[in-house]
Amino acid sequence: MHTIIQEIKQELPTMMNGVAAAAMRNAGMQVDYRVNFGVELPRLQQYAIELSVLHADRLPQLAQSLWKESVRECRMLAILLYPPNDMLPEVADIWVDSLHGVELVQIASLHLWSRMPQASVLSFRWIASENEIRQLAGCYTLIHLLRSTTLSERSEQELMDQLSVLLQSDNPQLRSVAQKLQQIIKPLPDLSQKGGS
């Protein structure tokens, strides 16, 4: 596995976008990694397809090894390569607890956590935690999950109670994602159709 990781790390600089890397660094987006090549997500998605064909028999192991690297693109590849059906909630907990910024939370929520069989349970547990990164991950994961499923009335009420707390957060990112989730669950009425002139 070490050799494969080394090959991947040698390939990543060839995809480098120095302007994007500098912009992210200047915006303070270096919190989750030591190295950032600024490679765009679509380029990494294409590379992940190639890697998944080459290493189909060991994707969870490859993803775990990539996640341990303090390189932005390695972590993004780990998210894209890990088969959602194979990820255990305990592993998802370890991954989310190793994050400090929102970029990887958003990518993992869309491409991995929302596709796990236990996504709903995981989301509710994270939203109910005291950890802001877990709360962000839970909200983003549930936003993606609700594109293809609905909540029971009881779950909806439980979530609305949790969101009422998150909407009071000092963290603007958390307030924003909680508001988005609240609007998905209880959309505001379309006032443009009422009492038109």
What confidence category does residue 20 fall into, taking pLDDT thresholds of 50, 70 and 90?
low
Distance CA 21, CA 39 (A): 8
Q: Name residue, tokens 């609007």.
A: 183
119, 41, 49: which is closest to 84 by C-alpha? 119
Within a domain: 159: yes
Q: Are residues 13 and 50 in the same domain?
A: yes
Say if residues 15 and 47 touch (Cβ distance below 8 Å): yes
Q: Are residues 66 and 118 in the same domain?
A: no
Within a domain: 116: yes
Q: Are residues 152 and 123 in the same domain?
A: yes
Distance of CA 96 to the CA centre of its chain: 9
Torsion of CA 124, 125, 130, 131, to 10 degrees: -90
Within a domain: 163: yes
Of the three residues 82, 113, 128, the one that is the final residue of a domain is 82
Q: Are residues 70 and 121 in the same domain?
A: no
Q: Is 80 exposed, middle or buried (0-12, 13-18, 19+ CB in 10 A)?
A: buried
What confidence category does residue 196 fall into, taking pLDDT thresholds of 50, 70 and 90?
very low
Average pLDDT for 14-30: 69
pLDDT at 97: 96
Q: Are residues 37 and 107 in the same domain?
A: no
The DSSP secondary-structure symbol of 191 reads G
Of the three residues 51, 82, 113, the one that is the final residue of a domain is 82
Q: Which pTM was predicted?
A: 0.87
Distance CA 23, CA 20 (A): 5
Within a domain: 92: no
Within a domain: 88: no
Distance CA 159, CA 150 (A): 12
Of the three residues 82, 117, 138, the one that is the final residue of a domain is 82
Q: Count the domains in the chain.
A: 2
Q: Are residues 19 and 77 in the same domain?
A: yes
Say if residues 8 and 66 touch (Cβ distance below 8 Å): yes
Q: Are residues 6 and 78 in the same domain?
A: yes
Distance CA 66, CA 72 (A): 10
Which residue range forms the structural domain that includes residue 163?
A: 102-185
Establish how many alpha carbons lie within 13 A of residue 2's alpha carbon, considering only the half-sphere containing its beta carbon.
Answer: 0
Residues of the chain above pLDDT 90, percent: 72
> How do residues 108-164 score in pLDDT, each as one tens digit?
999 999 999 999 999 999 999 999 999 999 999 999 999 888 888 899 999 999 999
Q: Are residues 31 and 70 in the same domain?
A: yes
Q: Are residues 106 and 76 in the same domain?
A: no
Distance CA 144, CA 111 (A): 9
Angle between helix 72-81 and helix 59-67 axes, rounded to 10 deg: 160
**Token pair of 21 as six digits:** 């890397």
